[in-house]
Amino acid sequence: MPEPYDPLQPGDKEAIAPTGAGGPMDLAIEEAESLEKTLGDAPGPSGPGGKARSLWSDAWHQLRRNPVFVVSALLIAFLVVIAIWPQLIASGDPLKCDLSKSQEGSAPGHPFGYDTQGCDVYTRTVYGARASITVGVCATLGAALLGSLLGGLAGFFGGWGDATLSRVADIFFGIPVILGGLVFLSVVTSTTVWPVVGFIVLLGWPQIARIARGSVITAKQNDYVQAARALGAGNTRLLLRHVAPNAVAPVIVVATIALGTYIALEATLSFLGVGLRPPTVSWGIDISNAASQIRNAPHMLLWPAGALSITVLAFIMLGDAVRDALDPKLR
């Protein structure tokens, strides 16, 4: 009678070595509908040596191969560079205008022509990136930090704090954006970007807070959070180590997409005359000035509007790509 096999005999360890994807993937094959999901998150058979791959590095791996991500990331990198150093591609001064050239078309050295004031449209379009990117990035950072902090804590602890926060967020949701902007910002006299940033943060955080709250509630119900609690882990550890890392992905996705819409919102407010004000160079202001002259000098509108659209699109595309990589189930 042969010896029954004992899987735990020393020396047989290789018998239960990870197969890379073995289990999880096979499970998915079993149900074709869940295959989709698996295609996103099942790792391949580990290569030679079987490197450790975190979900983040998996997501990065997938992002790099996504053309949408590559294109939008390159575009955004370019925008950020010219927002910081506009001189790199525009040698002129956006505020140096020559009224005699008012509304003239393109000329050597001035490919986009001149606006009503006789300022160089090319230079102004390049310099306009700075305001848009600054407002977009700062407003997103502010809204994301405030929103995820409040939403995350509310979701984690629940109770009356959660109820209060949800109602407050509802109130902010109820404020019409344009009307709110007209009322709040018309009393501001500052010519910096900060009042606009502040206003967008004020209106933007509830959206992030809702997402953060929801994903924290989902994450905290996972067994691994219970497991850590059973080990005696305190709330700080649970929140920072177990809940937050597993709840942050949707917040990142929403924030990235929001960034694009915040840039558009800044342009809208500037267009209405309550956002950024001259001498700040902004696409919104230029579009506003050009709008009335659209029949005589369409180039004045075309370039800043085009730049704005491309920027907004780039961020929204980036958000989409990030979502695909971080949360394959959402696809």
Partner 1 sequence: MLLEVRDLHVEFRTRDGVAKAVNGVNYSVDEGETLAVLGESGSGKSVTAQAVMGILDVPPGRIAGGEILFKGRDLLRMKEDERRRVRGAHMAMIFQDALSALNPVLTVGAQLGEMFEVHRGMSRKDSRARAVELMDRVRIPAARQRAGDYPHQFSGGMRQRIMIAMALALEPSLIIADEPTTALDVTVQAQVMDLLAELQRELNMGLILITHDLGVVADVADKIAVMYAGRIVEAAPVHELYRAPAHPYTRGLLDSIPRLDQMGQELYAIKGLPPNLTAIPPGCAFNPRCPMAQAICRTDVPPLYSVTGTPARRTSACHFWKECLGG
Partner 2 sequence: MAEQILEVRDLVKHYPLTQGILFKKQIGAVKAVDGVSFGLARGETLGIVGESGCGKSTVARMLVNLERPTAGAISYKGEDITRLSGRALKAVRRNIQMVFQDPYTSLNPRMTVGDIIGEPFEIHPEAAPKGDRRRKVQELLDVVGLNPEYVNRYPHQFSGGQRQRIGIARGLALRPEVIVADEPVSALDVSVQAQVVNLLERLQDEFDLSYVFIAHDLSIVRHISDRIGVMYLGRVVETGTDAEIYDHPTHPYTQALLSAVPVPDPQARAHRERIILTGDVPSPANPPSGCRFRTRCWKARQRCADEVPLLAVPQAFPEGPAAHPSACHFAAEKHVVPAEGELPPPPPPPGPLHGGQ
Site residues for partner 1 per CB under 8 A: 2, 4-7, 12, 15-16, 19-23, 25-27, 29-33, 35-36, 38-40, 42-45
CB of 71 to partner 1, least distance (A): 21
Give 88 or 240: the residue with its C-beta nearer to partner 2: 240
**Residue 241 binds which one of partner 1, partner 2, none, with CB within 5 to 8 A depending on kind?**
partner 2
- Please, where are the H alpha helices in 112-193? 121-157, 159-173, 177-186
Using CB under 8 A as the binding rule, whether residue 245 contacts partner 2 is answered as yes
Give 1 or 179: the residue with its C-beta nearer to partner 1: 1
CB of 331 to partner 1, least distance (A): 13
- Determine which residue in the list 29, 36, 50, 240 makes contact with partner 2, applying CB under 8 A: 50
Q: What is the DSSP letter of 316?
A: H
Are 122 and 111 a contacting pair, CB within 8 Å? yes
Using CB under 8 A as the binding rule, whether residue 17 contacts partner 2 is answered as yes
Report how many residues bind partner 2 under the rule CB under 8 A.
Answer: 48
Distance CA 286, CA 268 (A): 11
Distance CA 263, CA 170 (A): 23
CB of 17 to partner 1, least distance (A): 9
**Residue 36 binds which one of partner 2, partner 1, none, with CB within 5 to 8 A depending on kind?**
partner 1
Using CB under 8 A as the binding rule, whether residue 110 contacts partner 2 is answered as no
CB of 213 to partner 2, least distance (A): 17
Give 190 or 226: the residue with its C-beta nearer to partner 2: 226
Give 55 or 202: the residue with its C-beta nearer to partner 2: 55
Residues numbered 181-240 forming contacts with partner 2, rule: CB under 8 A: 222-224, 226-233, 237
Quick check: bond before 279 cis, omega within 30? yes
- Determine which residue in the list 61, 64, 96, 241 makes contact with partner 2, applying CB under 8 A: 241
Using CB under 8 A as the binding rule, whether residue 171 contacts partner 2 is answered as no
CA angle 256, 271, 274 (to 5 degrees): 90
Using CB under 8 A as the binding rule, whether residue 161 contacts partner 2 is answered as no
Give 46 or 293: the residue with its C-beta nearer to partner 2: 46
Closest to 251 (Cα-Cα) out of 214, 298, 281: 214
Give 15 or 227: the residue with its C-beta nearer to partner 1: 15
- Determine which residue in the list 35, 41, 188, 313 makes contact with partner 2, applying CB under 8 A: 41
Give 4 or 108: the residue with its C-beta nearer to partner 2: 4
CA 6 to chain centre: 53
CB of 3 to partner 1, least distance (A): 9
Give how far Cα 155 sits from Cα of 89, 149, 218, Å. Answer: 47, 10, 9
Using CB under 8 A as the binding rule, whether residue 27 contacts partner 2 is answered as yes
Q: Which residues contact 245 (CB under 8 A, 6 or more apart)?
A: none
What residue ranges in 90-174 does DSSP mark as E strands? none
Distance CA 145, CA 130 (A): 22
Using CB under 8 A as the binding rule, whether residue 35 contacts partner 2 is answered as no
Using CB under 8 A as the binding rule, whether residue 16 contacts partner 2 is answered as yes
Tokens of 14: 């290789």
First to last CA, the chain: 55
For 287-321, b/e burial (b = at least 16 CB within 10 A) is bbbbeebeeebebbbbbbbebbeebbebbbbbbbb
Q: Taking the alpha carbons of 301, 304, 310, 315 in that order, is the dihedral positive or negative?
A: negative
